């Protein structure tokens, strides 16, 4: 699960996000475009989830995000929560990442240096991150399932099963 942990990035270089009336709230247009291109190009899922967490961390500020998959070991998530508490971090937000038909795909957990709840605008950013994460996870699962059906792609299927916990 360590591979899904977010990395701190330089938030100062990201342009400010702009709401779009047709699509609702979105991250900075260039970042959102990059994320969607990475998802479409089947970039490694851990890389995409890290990018989503980094964008969310930068947008909200003073938070650390983690997206884990349903197949990940629950004891690792518990261990991370204990470690966060030892370092004085508070749970800021915990959300399920769900796909269509309310299919549970993963979990988003955010930690903060102060004990508080997300504001309305912060919750909108969290919802956008969950949508992008669900899209990336679902795309990864579809690619893995397709690879399982092809004899020529057995090696790729094996990697997908290990990466997604299938």
For residue 148, is pLDDT > 90? no
- Residue 123 pLDDT grade (very low, low, confident, very high; cuts 50, 70, 90): very high
Q: Which strands sit side by side in the sheet containing 63-69, from one edge to the other? A: 63-69, 104-112, 90-98
Question: What are the φ/ψ torsions at residue 70 (nearest 5 degrees)?
Answer: -65, -30
Average pLDDT over residues 67-96: 94
* pLDDT the model gives residue 144: 82
The overall average pLDDT reported for the chain is 79
- Residue 25 pLDDT grade (very low, low, confident, very high; cuts 50, 70, 90): low
* pLDDT the model gives residue 153: 44
For residue 101, is pLDDT > 70? yes
More confidently predicted of 100 and 25:
100
Least confident span in 32-36, 49-53, 81-85: 32-36
More confidently predicted of 108 and 156:
108
Whole-angstrom Cα distance, residue 147 to residue 71?
18
- Residue 108 pLDDT grade (very low, low, confident, very high; cuts 50, 70, 90): very high
Considering the entire predicted model, what is its pTM?
A: 0.73
For residue 31, is pLDDT > 90? no
Average pLDDT over residues 113-124: 95
- Nearest of 41, 48, 43, 30 to residue 105 by alpha carbon: 48
């Amino acid at each position: 699960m360590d591979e899904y942990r977010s990395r701190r990035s330089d938030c100062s270089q990201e342009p400010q996000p702009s709401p779009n009336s047709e699509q609702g709230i979105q991250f900075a247009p260039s970042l959102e475009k990059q994320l969607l291109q990475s998802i479409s190009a089947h970039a490694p899922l851990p890389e995409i989830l890290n990018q989503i967490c980094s964008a969310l961390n930068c947008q909200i500020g003073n938070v650390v995000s983690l997206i884990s998959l349903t197949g990940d070991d629950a004891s690792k998530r518990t261990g991370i929560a204990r470690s966060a508490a030892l370092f004085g971090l508070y749970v800021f937000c915990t959300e399920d990442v769900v796909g269509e038909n309310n299919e549970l795909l993963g979990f988003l957990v955010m930690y903060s240096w102060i004990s508080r709840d997300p504001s309305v605008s912060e919750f909108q950013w969290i919802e956008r991150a969950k949508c992008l994460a669900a899209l990336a996870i679902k795309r990864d699962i579809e690619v893995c399932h397709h690879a399982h059906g092809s004899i020529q792609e057995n090696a790729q299927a094996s990697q997908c099963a290990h990466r997604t916990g299938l």
